Amino acid sequence: MRRIRHISGNLTLEDAPVPAPGPGELLVRTEAIGVTLPVVRKLREAGGSAPEPIGGEIAGTVAAVGPDVTEYAPGDRVTGLCFGDAYAEAAVLHTAMASAVPQGARAGDAVALVRGGVVALGALEAAGPRPGESALITAAAGGAGHLAVQLARTRGAARVVAAVSDPAAKGDFLRDLGADEVVAYDAPEGWPGPFDYVLDAVGGDLLTPAVRALRDGGRLVAYSSGGGTLSAYDLLVGGRTVTGFQIARIARDHPETYAAWRDELWGLFADGALRPAAAAEFPLTRAAEAHALIDHRVNLGRVVLTP
């Protein structure tokens, strides 16, 4: 089979043996692989010449099951987060991270919905949304952000504002998904706040204006890999709060919550209340182009590799 590994700073295509699933694992013939900003950032910052596996979201058909696996069988369609070599024609997926893909759902829908959607829904739940509130969603055109815009509506948001790098290029896409207004990151003085809550997937220098855009008692949920620092004074003024959200902790420590969120997402998808968008699809041989699209922040929805 073919796979992509990160070698000496480059995404390198290589031939490799098909892996064998171990206890509790599935061998999945991949049909779609999600490309995410955290993975792109991690590889950009990585050093050394040792080959590195690239993990990520996958969807495909079960080709074989490991010992003691009873929940799935060859021929089942599944999706989930692979911690080994995900950028490959076949990948190993642990059953704890797997979920069935409903009949009629595309593999691209599955990788766009399940991981990015669970992140978006978890961040939203951490904000404790109440009907009638106003929300600001940053990185709103990204894989998780475009779903967060829609999910905020399902939780009763009266006003949803989307913050992006280029409102002119991304505005129509986001308004079609339910955003009331689309604003630029680099012009926070023009944000139509104050907001009851902010879901931030950007971090860095954007954290301070995002907190200051909150009304008294407002809540910011930070789920970015971009870092950043805040002044305690900005939190004390108006009694604002910041919560850090990490989906890996939920998947590890609260699997029942993770499963409930995943099931809710599929239900919303089936009802037509949630529309995952695939920004672009690339073959494995063009993985570097997929990463560049993410790195330049020009994608509208999830970027997908299709072996």
pLDDT tens-place string over residues 156-179: 999 999 999 999 999 999 999 999
Q: What is the 3-state secondary structure (H, E, C) of 251-304?
A: HHHCHHHHHHHHHHHHHHHHHCCCCCCEEEEECHHHHHHHHHHHHCCCCCCEEE
Among 49-58, 141-150, 201-210, which stretch is predicted with the lowest mean pLDDT? 49-58
Kindly list the structural domains of the chain, giving each domain's residue range(s) and its CATH number in brackets, ordered by start.
2-101+277-305 (3.90.180.10), 119-248 (3.40.50.720)
What is the overall mean pLDDT for the chain?
91
**With 70 as the cut, is the pLDDT of residue 48 above it?**
no
Q: What is the mean pLDDT of residues 2-18?
A: 91
**With 80 as the cut, is the pLDDT of residue 46 above it?**
no
pTM metric for this prediction: 0.86
**With 80 as the cut, is the pLDDT of residue 225 above it?**
no
Q: Which residues contact 137 (CB under 8 A, 6 or more apart)?
A: 145, 148, 149, 152, 160, 161, 162, 163, 179, 198, 199
Closest CA to 211 of 242, 185, 189, 243: 242
**With 90 as the cut, is the pLDDT of residue 213 above it?**
yes
pLDDT band at 278 (very low <50, low <70, confident <90, very high): confident
- b/e sequence 170-183, b meaning 16+ C-beta within 10 Å: bbebbeebbbbbbb
Q: How far apart are the first and last CA of the chain?
A: 10
**CA 36 to CA 39: how far, in whole Å?**
6
Q: DSSP strand E in 41-94: where?
A: 56-65, 77-82, 90-94
Cα angle 203, 205, 208; round to 5: 90
Q: What is the mean pLDDT of residues 72-89?
A: 94
Q: What is the mean pLDDT of residues 16-22?
A: 96
**With 70 as the cut, is the pLDDT of residue 203 above it?**
yes
Beta bridge pairs of residue 303: 35, 280
Q: What is the mean pLDDT of residues 75-104?
A: 92
Between 231 and 160, whose confidence is greater?
160
Q: What is the mean pLDDT of residues 44-58?
A: 78
**With 90 as the cut, is the pLDDT of residue 47 above it?**
no
Cα angle 85, 7, 48; round to 5: 115
Q: What is the pLDDT of residue 45?
A: 77
Q: What is the mean pLDDT of residues 187-205?
A: 93
**CA 252 to CA 30: how far, in whole Å?**
24
For a pLDDT cut of 90, what percent of the chain falls above it? 65
pLDDT band at 69 (very low <50, low <70, confident <90, very high): very high
